[in-house]
A and B are shown apart, each in its own frame.
Chain A
């Protein structure tokens, strides 16, 4: 009967994260990016495209007052 040798160093690459195994790490990375990319894929909502267009007044318009209240929220 042949016994399969246990592969002690099975995990790909040296585990640089102490106790964290590579599979869990990649799972976390995948979840994180899935969550993030889901929003990225939504593109630019009209609200923001409009905002930037509106503020694009060639000098003298908005005057760049940082205290200006963002309005038009509704």
Chain B
């Protein structure tokens, strides 16, 4: 369909979530914005292939995801600066404790296989249905479901089981519990 004003507005309205998706995928703010820019250029260049009435955000996310994939293959994460540059993209710096927790979460997310990470983000953060997420990733709905489940299990293992000391009873509590027998 031709690029109408309302379509242009809709594309613009998708930019914030495209950026969030790109940053979640790449862990790097600058690179994420380059991805978004390239996504917009491709989308506008191929606007004729967009079906009016179909899901515009899903279409844009598909483009971004494919760009990220090919880019990823090229670069192979030569730069691992997830925490630093991501934190810089935040408007408000979280308080120290929250910040630490946030960085742990970010680091754990980065440890997930890419398939699982993108599935989890699409469903758990972007708010796409399993069906839309499957379309974006070009796989079956069941595959998305199982990736999301595996992503959740793995995150939970990384954050709350391996790091059980952080969340379990602290030393004081443990001393009280364990020390009652004297």
Q: Residues on A close to B: CB < 8 A? A: 17-20, 24-25, 27-29, 31-45, 47-49, 51-52, 55-56, 59, 62, 64-66, 68, 70, 73
Contacts and interface: CB of A to CB of B under 8 A. Distances in A.
A40 B160 CA distance: 27
Nearest to B47: A64
Contacts of A43: 16
What secondary structure prevails in chain B residues at the interface with A?
A: helix
B129 interface: no
Nearest to B23: A39
Interface of B: 2-3, 8, 11-12, 15-17, 19-21, 23-24, 33-34, 36-38, 40-42, 44-48, 89-92, 101-102, 105-106, 109, 120-121, 124-126, 149, 152-153, 155-156, 159-160
A55 B121 contact: no
Nearest to A53: B8
A35 B125 contact: yes
Contacts of B89: 39, 42
Given A28-B156, A55-B44, A64-B48, A39 B20 contact: yes
29 contacts: A17-B149, A17-B152, A17-B153, A20-B152, A20-B156, A28-B152, A32-B105, A34-B102, A36-B121, A36-B125, A36-B126, A38-B90, A39-B16, A39-B23, A39-B89, A40-B19, A40-B20, A42-B19, A42-B89, A44-B12, A45-B15, A51-B37, A52-B12, A56-B3, A59-B2, A64-B47, A65-B45, A66-B42, A66-B46
Interface centre among B38, B41, B153 (most CB of A within 10 A): B41
